[in-house]
């Protein structure tokens, strides 16, 4: 069995803006993010325009909707915050079914992008998005049957189709590839499961499905967490384990924007790294990361596109002098609101939470099953009981790389294992509830405690569980992590991985 360390998912969402969360200072509309101008925070009331020059169909059958499919990929691992300058994927088809349990090839599937199968489209997931936060249009104004689509399958072109791809940036040999900051080009290997389409069911679809009525003209957005999707293998290669969500974008949408600063100086963290995560509760009540982004050198960030809903923001950072800061948490913020200034409290060094994830298949000897495992650190907010996921900085996070393990003496018999070491804030989080009244951030205690959390899935399956349990927390509960200390977490052991 092969085990990979790979991280959390992302969400699909949509851009535009905004009223303010009155607990924070207004966002600086002139700020820059990753050397690009941040979008204006002036409220936008006009509908989204189709970001390509294809007219919207005016004659739609009574039982059909006119669908446009888009791609977005907010990312935090591109240069200079990460090792990649380009990540090219070639999408060859997108199909949807109203049956959540339909197998691949079932006649219930509807082609949402007619024509894409004969002319696959290559997308640079680290490319520049348009004003609506989309990277590309995969199909515009396609007439499809109305309904509640509860399963979507995304098909990627294999390397065997490389020579037929128009303007293939990967060359004649590859259909999907990445380019590192040293300008070296590498194949993105597709796991076997992707040949049946990357399956997206309720857990990957916003609101559990994509529903549109006859006569509607919806935009469907596929949001890819490119950082979480790249698995660096032990032999120096790269495997693509797509982590993505999909859902409907309304005719108007929103961003969430703000600025991360030091609580001591009120200024951005000089020369360091700041990560901001957009989170929302899953079915167990744990805040999971839906989108993450690195703040600009001036501390500003813009999360886009964001659908209607209520979220929590979690920011972490280390400055250029290696001073670690607390997490800054703003709870209950809605799409379209301004986060204002999020202050992080300076501390000393980060602490480390270390542990082991092991996997075991149903029979012995191991069957060589490939399993993607993800390690996260959870932290409970004392004031309201919210359990957040603490985002990791790009240079330290497992979501930028993966481990390809083999059987070893340190692993349980018949299994594989992968160690993890997460560097985390060693002072307690600074928290505020977004409200209509002015509110102050409050630090929650002293030494923080973290609970290690892990999930397992089949690479390329779109999140299909691979083991008896798809998610677990480390035995023993929360562990205190002090400055410069290494705390040990209990081993998380997945079994019956098939």
Total count of domains within the chain: 2
How confident is residue 38, by pLDDT bands cut at 50, 70 and 90?
very low
Q: Please report which confidence band the pLDDT of residue 29 belongs to, taking 50, 70 and 90 as the band edges.
A: very low
Residues 75 and 223 grouped into a single domain: yes
Same domain, 216 and 73: yes
The conformational region for residue 204 under phi > 0 = left, psi -120 to 50 = alpha, else beta, is alpha
C-beta neighbour count of 362 within 10 angstroms:
13
For residue 13, being part of any structural domain is answered with no
Q: Are 296 and 39 in contact, with CB atoms under 8 Å apart? A: no
| H or E element at residue 421 | strand 415-424
- What is the model's pTM? 0.77
* 341 falls within a domain: no
Residue 226 DSSP class: H
| pLDDT over threshold 70, residue 322 | yes
Q: In whole angstroms, what is the distance from residue 68 CA to residue 65 CA?
A: 10
For 127-242, where are the alpha helices, taking DSSP H only?
226-229
| Within a domain: 117 | yes
What is the radius of gyration, based on Cα positions, of the chain? 22
Name the more confident of 168 and 46. Answer: 168
Domain at 458, CATH number:
2.60.40
What does the alpha-carbon distance between residue 364 and residue 323 come to, in Å, rounded to a whole number?
A: 48
Six token digits for residue 136: 């590309």
**Which of 228, 251, 274 finishes a domain?**
251
Minimum mean pLDDT range among 249-263, 296-310, 406-420, 454-468: 406-420
More confident residue, 341 or 16: 341
pLDDT of residue 216: 87
Answer yes or no: is pLDDT of 292 > 50. yes
Q: What is the pLDDT of residue 47?
A: 33
pLDDT band for position 177 (cuts 50, 70, 90): very high
Rounded-to-5 percentages of helix, strand, coil across the chain: 5, 45, 50
Asked whether residue 281 is domain-assigned, the answer is no
**200 in a structural domain:** yes
Q: Which of 251, 278, 305 is the last residue of a domain?
A: 251
> What is the rounded CA–CA span in Å between residue 146 and residue 154?
19
Of 223, 251, 279, which closes a domain? 251
Residue 429 in any domain: the answer is no
Half-sphere exposure of 109 (CA within 13 A, CB side): 22
Look at residues 80, 60, 75 and name the one whose alpha carbon lies nearest to residue 145: 60
Whether the Cβ atoms of residue 262 and residue 325 lie closer than 8 Å to each other: yes
Confidence (pLDDT) at 234: 64
Please report where in the chains the tokens 């999408």 appear, as a residue: 91
Q: State how far the Cα of 226 lies from the Cα of 6, in Å rounded to an integer.
A: 11
What is the chain's mean pLDDT, rounded? 79
pLDDT band (50, 70, 90) for residue 51: very low
Q: Which of 286, 316, 268, 308 is nearest to 426 (CA)?
A: 316
**H or E stretch including 241?**
none
Q: Is the pLDDT of residue 371 over 60?
A: yes
Residue, of 90 and 193, whose pLDDT is higher? 90
Q: Is the model more confident about 108 or about 10?
A: 108
Would the pLDDT of 381 be above 50?
yes
Domain containing 391 equals: 351-423+448-497
Contacts of 495 (CB under 8 A, 6+ apart): 359, 360, 467, 468, 469
DSSP secondary structure string, 309-377? SEEEEEEEEE-TT--BB--EEEEEEETTEEEEEEEEPB-S--EEEEEEEEEEESSSS----EEEEEEEE
Collapsed DSSP state (helix, strand, coil) of residue 83: coil
Mark whether 358 and 225 lie in a shared domain: no
pLDDT tens digits for range 258-280:
999 999 999 999 988 899 998 88
Place of tokens 């650190």: 377
Residue 290 inside a domain? The answer is no
Q: Is the pLDDT of residue 27 over 60?
A: no
The pLDDT value recorded for residue 53 is 32
Nearest to residue 144, comparing CAs of 60, 59, 49? 60
Question: Residues near 53 by Cβ (< 8 Å), separated by ≥ 6?
Answer: none
Residue 383 within any structural domain of the chain: yes
């Amino acid at each position: 069995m092969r085990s990979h360390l790979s991280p959390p998912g992302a969400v699909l969402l949509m851009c535009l803006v905004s009223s303010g969360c009155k607990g924070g200072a207004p966002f600086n509309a002139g700020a820059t993010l990753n050397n690009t101008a941040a979008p204006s925070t002036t409220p936008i009331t006009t509908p989204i325009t189709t970001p390509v020059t294809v007219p919207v169909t005016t004659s739609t059958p009574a039982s059909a909707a006119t669908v446009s499919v888009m791609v977005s990929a907010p990312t935090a691992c591109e240069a200079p915050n990460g090792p990649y300058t380009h990540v090219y994927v070639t999408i060859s088809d997108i199909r949807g079914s109203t049956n959540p349990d339909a197998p691949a090839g079932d006649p219930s599937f509807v082609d949402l992008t007619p024509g894409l199968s004969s002319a696959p489209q290559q997308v640079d997931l680290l490319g520049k998005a348009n004003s609506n936060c989309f990277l590309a249009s995969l199909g515009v104004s396609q007439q499809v049957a109305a309904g509640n689509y509860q399963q979507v399958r995304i098909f990627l072109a294999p390397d065997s189709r490389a020579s037929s791809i128009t303007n293939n940036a990967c060359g004649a040999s590859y259909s999907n590839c990445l380019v590192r900051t040293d300008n070296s080009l590498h194949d993105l290997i597709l796991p076997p499961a992707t040949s049946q389409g990357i399956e997206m069911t309720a857990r990957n679809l916003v609101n559990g499905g994509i529903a549109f009525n006859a006569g509607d003209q919806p935009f469907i957005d596929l949001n890819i967490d490119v950082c979480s999707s790249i698995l660096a293998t032990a032999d120096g290669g790269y495997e693509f384990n797509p982590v993505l969500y999909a859902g409907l974008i309304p005719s108007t949408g929103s961003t969430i924007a703000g600025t991360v600063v030091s609580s001591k100086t009120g200024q951005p963290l000089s020369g360091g790294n700041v990560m901001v995560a957009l989170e929302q509760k899953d079915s167990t009540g744990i805040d999971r990361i839906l989108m993450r982004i690195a703040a600009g050198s001036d501390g500003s960030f813009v999360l886009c596109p964001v659908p209607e809903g209520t979220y929590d923001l979690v920011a972490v950072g280390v400055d250029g002098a290696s001073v670690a800061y607390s997490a800054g948490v703003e709870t209950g913020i809605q799409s379209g609101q301004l986060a204002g200034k999020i202050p992080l409290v300076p501390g000393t060094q980060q602490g480390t939470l270390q542990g082991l994830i092991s996997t075991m298949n149903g029979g012995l000897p191991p069957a060589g099953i490939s399993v993607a495992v993800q390690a996260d650190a959870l932290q409970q907010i004392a004031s309201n009981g919210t359990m957040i996921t603490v985002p990791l900085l790009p240079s330290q996070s497992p979501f930028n790389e993966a481990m390809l393990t083999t059987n070893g003496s340190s692993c349980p018999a018949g299994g594989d294992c992968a160690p993890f070491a997460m560097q985390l804030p060693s002072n307690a989080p600074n928290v505020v509830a977004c409200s209509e009244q002015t509110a102050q951030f409050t630090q929650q205690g002293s030494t923080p405690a973290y609970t290690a959390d892990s999930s397992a899935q089949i690479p390329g399956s779109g999140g299909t569980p691979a083991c008896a349990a798809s998610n677990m927390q480390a035995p023993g509960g929360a562990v205190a992590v002090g400055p410069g200390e290494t705390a040990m977490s209990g081993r998380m052991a997945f079994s019956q991985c098939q």
